[in-house]
């Protein structure tokens, strides 16, 4: 599901949970295991997908549906809060790692997958990458910290566009908006990330860490507000109804808008 290598100061974290690295309790536990063993002497973390389908399709909706369906109604709130608190803990820790973090994105980068990518310091997108917040279709907002993190990087107009329309944008548009640092050909993302890691390794560690700490802060108040709004919306009937439709759908193309 999650695997990593560590060599000469560089971690390469590979997500490989079919169909497209959906984030549920298993993925979360894997990310937590990775975070708990990070060598503070490392200088770069590369986050990538090992699946052809894309970077990450977002939250594991089938697992979420099972959890909510199996629990009494009055337990939905506490259950959602527990999951979202754990997710935020992992995302915040990834965000604040004292390494330079590089996300390599190809194909689908939707919802929670987009939010995971947004924890990275630098994003390298292959030309096939598409970014999307489809959450309104489920009657919720992005809940893994995506909007506050996106607000650090791009203007409010693009955020409203993505959030309120649910449309996806390609790598070139994402680069023009300042969200993506480099766009490369299909299959070239990891090579570009390794070249960046080699460069990062030349820098003085104290200066490198200080630079990141200086420019990249956690938007704590907004993250907290997002968490509360997410749980309030997710407790409502719209999410469960949307999840029901999703799991019962026989559409072979569930990731088409």
Partner 1 sequence: MSDTVGTLIRLAAKRFGADPAKLRAEDDLFENLGIDSFQAVELISDVEDEFDVELPDYELQGIKTFAALAQKIDARR
Rounded to a whole number of angstroms, the minimum distance from the CB of residue 124 to partner 1 is: 15
Rule CB under 8 A: is residue 128 a binding residue for partner 1?
yes
Of residues 62, 55, 51, 57, the one with CA closest to residue 25: 62
**Distance in angstroms (rounded) separating the CA atoms of residues 180 and 24:** 26
Cβ atoms within 10 Å, residue 116: 29
* Span interacting with partner 1, options 7-15, 146-154, 213-221, 249-257, rule CB under 8 A: 249-257
DSSP labels for 38-94? --TT--EEEEEE-STTEEE--B-HHHHHHHHHHS-GGGHHHHHHHHHHHHHHHHHHH
Q: How far apart are the first and last CA of the chain?
A: 26
* Span interacting with partner 1, options 5-13, 46-54, 80-88, 235-243, rule CB under 8 A: 46-54
Rule CB under 8 A: is residue 17 a binding residue for partner 1?
no
CB-CB contact of 144 with 91 (8 Å): yes
Rule CB under 8 A: is residue 130 a binding residue for partner 1?
yes
Q: Which of 26, 89, 166, 219 binds partner 1 (CB under 8 A)?
A: 166
Nearer Cβ to partner 1 (210/247): 247
* Span interacting with partner 1, options 84-92, 146-154, 162-170, 220-228, rule CB under 8 A: 162-170
Rule CB under 8 A: is residue 162 a binding residue for partner 1?
no
**Length of the chain measured in residues:** 257
Binding to partner 1, residues 97-126 (CB under 8 A)? 107-108
Q: Which of 162, 171, 177, 234 binds partner 1 (CB under 8 A)?
A: 171
């Amino acid at each position: 599901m999650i695997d990593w290598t560590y060599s000469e100061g560089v971690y390469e974290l590979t997500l490989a949970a079919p169909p497209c690295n959906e984030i549920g309790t298993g993925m979360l536990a894997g990310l937590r295991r990775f975070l708990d063993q990070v060598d503070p002497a490392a200088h770069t973390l590369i986050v990538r997908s090992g699946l052809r389908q894309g970077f990450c399709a977002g939250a594991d909706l089938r697992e979420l549906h099972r959890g909510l369906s199996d629990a009494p109604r009055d337990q939905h709130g506490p259950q959602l809060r527990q999951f979202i608190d754990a997710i935020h803990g992992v995302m915040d820790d990834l965000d604040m790692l004292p390494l330079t973090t590089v996300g390599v994105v190809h194909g689908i980068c939707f919802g929670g997958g987009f939010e995971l990518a947004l924890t990275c310091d630098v994003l390298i997108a292959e030309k096939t990458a598409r970014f999307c917040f489809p959450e309104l279709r489920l009657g919720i907002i992005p809940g893994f910290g995506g909007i506050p993190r996106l607000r650090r990087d791009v203007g409010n107009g693009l955020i409203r566009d993505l959030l309120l329309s649910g449309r996806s944008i390609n790598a070139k548009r994402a680069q023009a908006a300042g969200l993506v640092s480099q766009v490369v050909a299909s299959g070239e993302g990891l090579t570009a990330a390794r070249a960046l890691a080699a460069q990062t390794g030349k820098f003085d560690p104290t200066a490198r860490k200080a630079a990141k700490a200086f420019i990249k802060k956690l938007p704590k108040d907004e993250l907290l507000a997002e968490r509360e709004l997410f749980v309030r919306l997710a407790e409502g009937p719209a999410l469960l109804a949307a999840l029901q439709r999703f799991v019962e759908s026989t559409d072979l193309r569930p990731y088409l808008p």
